[in-house]
Amino acid sequence: MKITGDLKRDFSALKELLPAEDILSFDFAAEGGITFRILFCDPVTDKELLGTLVVRPLMHYRGGTRAEDVGEGLASPEMRSFSNLEELAGEVLAGNPVLLWDGMDEGLVVGTKKVFLRAVMEPPTGVTVKGPREGFIEDIKVNTSLIRRRLKTGELKIVFSKIGRRSQTFVALCYLEGTANEAVVKGVEKRLKAIDIDGIPDSSYLADFLCSRPHALIKQVGTTEKPDVFCAKLLEGRVGVLADGSPIALTLPYLFVEDLQAGEDYFVPPLRATLTRVLRLLAMLAAMYLPAFYVAAELFKLQLFPVKLLLTIAGSIRDIPLSPSLEMLLVLLMLEVLNEASIRMPKYVGMALSVVGALVLGETAVRAGFFSTPAIIIVAFSAIGLYAVPDLIEVTSMVRLLLLLAAGSLGTYGIILATAFLLLELTATENYGVPLLSPFAPARPRDMKDSIVKFGLRSLKLRPKTLMSPNKRRMNG
Amino acid sequence: MTAPAKIAPRQLLFFLACLAPLSKLILLPAQLAAEAKNDLWLSALCSLAVETAAVFAAVLLSKRSLSFFALLERAFGRLAAVCGCIVLSLFFLFAAYVPLFEQKLMVQSVFYDTLPSDLLFAPFFLISVYFCLKPLGCFGRIFDLLGPLTAIAFFFLILFSAGEADLSALAPVGITGARGVFSGVLRTTAWFFDGALLLPLLGKIEYKKGLAWKSAAAYGAGGAAVLLFLALFYGIFQDIAPVQFFAFSKTAKYFPAIHLLGRIDYIFIYAMALAMVFVSLFPMLSAAELLKQAFGESKPRCLLYSLLLNGAIAAVSTVLSFSFPAAERFITRTLFWIFPLFGAALPALLLLLRERLPRRRSR
């Protein structure tokens, strides 16, 4: 609906579009005789700024009624004009007040949005001992400024769009022009445009739409809360997506090996980084497979235990009333419940939970003969091992359960079949033409220099071939 | 986006190098020992030499960048190509029986302390159904991972076995005579049809100069590994070798460290067994691939082929569950000629084919 220039009619039309009770308005007259009306959304508009930037300068206004003239009389650096009433209504809801008057050709929108921000601080994920400590916050503008500060180049493109019919969430697509593969950029843009949903409360909603196989077992979108990691990924040729209201940034295409790497790996000697990456991988594999192999060995293949260990285990499990698979399943479920509760529970009861979890449930259950000591030890190790790769915890805990079920019903052969299934699943998954398991499957020896093994920075002169960057060289000399 | 359908040269070489060690170490060593005694390696050498030539011919065919279907269609027309695909597909279904059954017997023997129910093997067919639905590029990628894993596992199994083998048991060479060696070759043809396995891959391999030679060399290297294993196997078990089935799981258990550490050889046995799952599934995948070439590869059709083929082999396995020795005897003594016909002669004959129809009309 177009603006008519008649204050009363336009205002009532806008009020029809915005019937909410927190949409307020007030009138004031300028020295030149024009009466202005400001329409604003009370909770999200900074009224002090509104007074300083809009009302106070306009009180002395003596110019004409064109929006351009009125705009010149304002002191605001952020100003837009619209002749469409729906667009004006949208701006009011976003926290930007709309200025109306008789005889206007366009309504003026002034950027005086009230911003509730938490400070830029160290994120709870991706914590490093050495390395930058800044983390993204919920405001997209702050997040893009954190990126801009690190990438001072005109090649950094940040394309904004609004997604969500009701939430109208700002989403920023970030990439380095000439470094990111154009097909990937277009692919991400196309999928973002195709999203038709009422609201995007968090970037995880977008991640679901950006996957090629939404029902796949493993995630296909990388996530980070750290601007340094985000920028490093853009420099490698990836595309990033930020959503307003979310501190989690998305990066594409995602490679499985990304989650075995940590920000700190680039601040320690390559040999140390390699060692920690190998440890992470082994810990993750052991955490997933150990409970399954223990159950399979106990149920179907006792030969897997050395004789002395077998005697110890036999002594521990002699009086346990549950079958090995059920015992392990129950201990794992108990661990998952404890884990879930410790995350959700208020911090001040956390200590009590530790006591109840570790002592009452663990120690007492063993003493009472419900669970055996080896089962508790294995699950405890498994729990710690999974957190060696925290970004994959959602997947690895599921895989651990799948392997346990396979081992409990089919023994070691079940584990092998489940592994075969996982291999098929992982090798078949690719996003934006990039295989998930690259650089291992398909093997790209050059890209392996920064995978499990970490070479020195001087050896990483080229960008990963897997990401198909048109700008292959990242270091000269 | 789906995984690419092409197989990179490196992936093909990994697959070929692993093919012989993964498909010929379960029942074949005992069978060879029964027929050729200490000359078992000579019998295997003859078969492997023929298969190496067949692999060379099959990879050379991929130079033409035509699928098996297109190759036949150009020479004989569409109907003949469809028939050819069906016949070869049926051959794979038939040939899959021995690898699947030996896999089943190995599972029952190696993975369990006591004989488990036949039902425990059933999930293998579920994996097979799922596997047949995946593109061939996915298979290539799997061997990017399993190739090195197999090499490491095989190396350690050989290392653990070497100390216990008395290689003088292989001497004097040729004591069983040409008849014994030839009998070993004839009775074990069911394990040698690797040349045919490459035919469904035609048109999917990224051919590069010299790939045929490299492929033959890779397959030959795998074959050499098998020969080495056979020598160690006979060196360890000697006269009782003919009754030592599932050879690869037995030779390393006499390694001294095992008494201290437990059966650490199982780590490598399980790694090999994982790779063996894919190799024993390969005839089924090949059969499904040929049906895709002949009748189209829409998703519902692929599912139908996969269900039909796996249903058929599962039914055969169930029916012949207790008659494997008889079935195996029938296959290896009466129908033994089928395997060299498809495994060695077919790739060589296809090399002689000339295109009669213009390229654009083909699939």
Q: Does any domain span residue A269?
A: no
Residue type, B216: A
Q: For the segment B11-20, what is each residue's pLDDT rounded down to a tens digit? A: 899 999 999 9
Q: Which residues of B touch A (CB under 8 A)?
A: 1-3, 8, 10-11, 107, 111-113, 116, 120, 123-124, 127, 130-131, 134-135, 138, 140-142, 144-146, 260-263, 266, 270, 273-274, 277-278
Give me the mean pLDDT over the B89-112 stretch: 88
Give the least confident one: A213-217, B187-191, B339-343, B352-356.
B352-356
pLDDT interval class at B50 (50, 70, 90): very high
For the cut 80, the answer to whether the pLDDT of residue B2 exceeds it is no
Given A110, A143, A162, the domain boundary residue is: A110
User: In chain A, whose CA is at the least distance from the CA of B267?
Assistant: A304
A431 interaction partners in chain B (CB closer than 8 Å): 1
The reported pLDDT for the residue numbered B1 is 42
Q: Which domain holds residue A33?
A: 7-110
Strand order from edge to edge, sheet including A98-101: A23-29, A35-41, A98-101, A107-110, A79-82
Query: Do residue A290 and residue A360 come from a single domain?
Result: yes
Query: Do residue A128 and residue A242 come from a single domain?
Result: yes
CB-nearest to A443 from B144, B263, B273 is B144
ipTM here: 0.91
Supply the angle between the helices B28-36 and B177-187 in degrees, to the nearest 10.
Answer: 150
* Tally of structural domains, chain A: 3
Query: Do residue A78 and residue A133 come from a single domain?
Result: no
Q: Measure the CA dihedral A199/A203/A204/A205, to 10°.
A: 20
Query: Which of B22, B111, B266 should we substitute to test contact with A (largest number of A Cβ atoms within 10 Å)?
Result: B111
- Reported as type and span, the H/E element at residue B83 is helix B78-95
Q: Does any domain span residue A145?
A: yes
Whether residues A428 and B135 touch (CB distance < 8 A) is answered with yes
pLDDT interval class at B251 (50, 70, 90): confident
The reported pLDDT for the residue numbered B268 is 92
Q: For the segment B271-324, what is each residue's pLDDT rounded down to a tens digit? A: 999 999 999 889 999 999 999 999 988 888 889 999 999 999 989 888 887 788
Given A110, A132, A159, the domain boundary residue is: A110
Copy the structure tokens of residue A222.
């990388």
CB-nearest to B127 from A411, A421, A435 is A421
A293 interaction partners in chain B (CB closer than 8 Å): none
What residue ranges of chain A have pLDDT lower than 70? 358-359, 477
Question: Which of B235, B10, B5, B15 is CA-nearest to residue B134?
Answer: B5
Whether residues B262 and A212 touch (CB distance < 8 A) is answered with no
Q: Does any domain span residue A325?
A: yes
User: In chain B, whose CA is at the least distance from the CA of A184?
Assistant: B1
Query: Do residue A283 and residue A417 come from a single domain?
Result: yes
Radius of gyration for chain B, computed over Cα atoms and rounded to the nearest angstrom = 20
Query: Do residue A202 and residue A134 come from a single domain?
Result: yes
* Helix, strand or coil, per DSSP, at residue A82: strand
Whether residues A430 and B111 touch (CB distance < 8 A) is answered with no
Query: Do residue A241 and residue A208 come from a single domain?
Result: yes
| Residues B261, A250: Cα–Cα separation, whole Å | 46
Q: For the segment B162-220, what is each residue's pLDDT rounded down to a tens digit? A: 888 888 888 888 888 888 899 989 999 999 999 999 999 998 888 888 999 999 999 99
Query: Do residue A239 and residue A125 come from a single domain?
Result: yes
Q: Does any domain span residue A442?
A: no
Query: Do residue A344 and residue A324 come from a single domain?
Result: yes
The reported pLDDT for the residue numbered B263 is 81
CA distances to A291, A382, B62, B257 from A306, rounded to whole Å, are 17, 21, 50, 11
| Residues A428, B1: Cα–Cα separation, whole Å | 10
Give me the mean pLDDT over the B318-332 stretch: 85
Q: Does any domain span residue A274?
A: no
Q: For the segment A298-328, what is each residue's pLDDT rounded down to a tens digit? A: 888 888 888 888 888 888 888 888 888 898 9
**How many angstroms away from the CA of B136 is the closest CA of chain A?**
10
For the cut 70, the answer to whether the pLDDT of residue B356 exceeds it is no
Query: Do residue A285 and residue A422 come from a single domain?
Result: yes
* Helix, strand or coil, per DSSP, at residue B205: strand
* Helix, strand or coil, per DSSP, at residue A81: strand
What is the average pLDDT score of chain A? 87
Q: Does any domain span residue A337?
A: yes
Taking the model in full, what pTM does it have?
Answer: 0.86
Q: Does any domain span residue A1?
A: no
Whether residues B112 and A410 touch (CB distance < 8 A) is answered with no
pLDDT interval class at B5 (50, 70, 90): low
Query: Do residue A130 and residue A241 come from a single domain?
Result: yes
Query: Do residue A201 and residue A328 come from a single domain?
Result: no
Given A60, A93, A110, the domain boundary residue is: A110
Residues in chain B: 363
- Do the beta carbons of residue B111 and residue A295 sit within 8 Å? no
Query: Do residue A238 and residue A291 come from a single domain?
Result: no
Q: Does any domain span residue A15?
A: yes
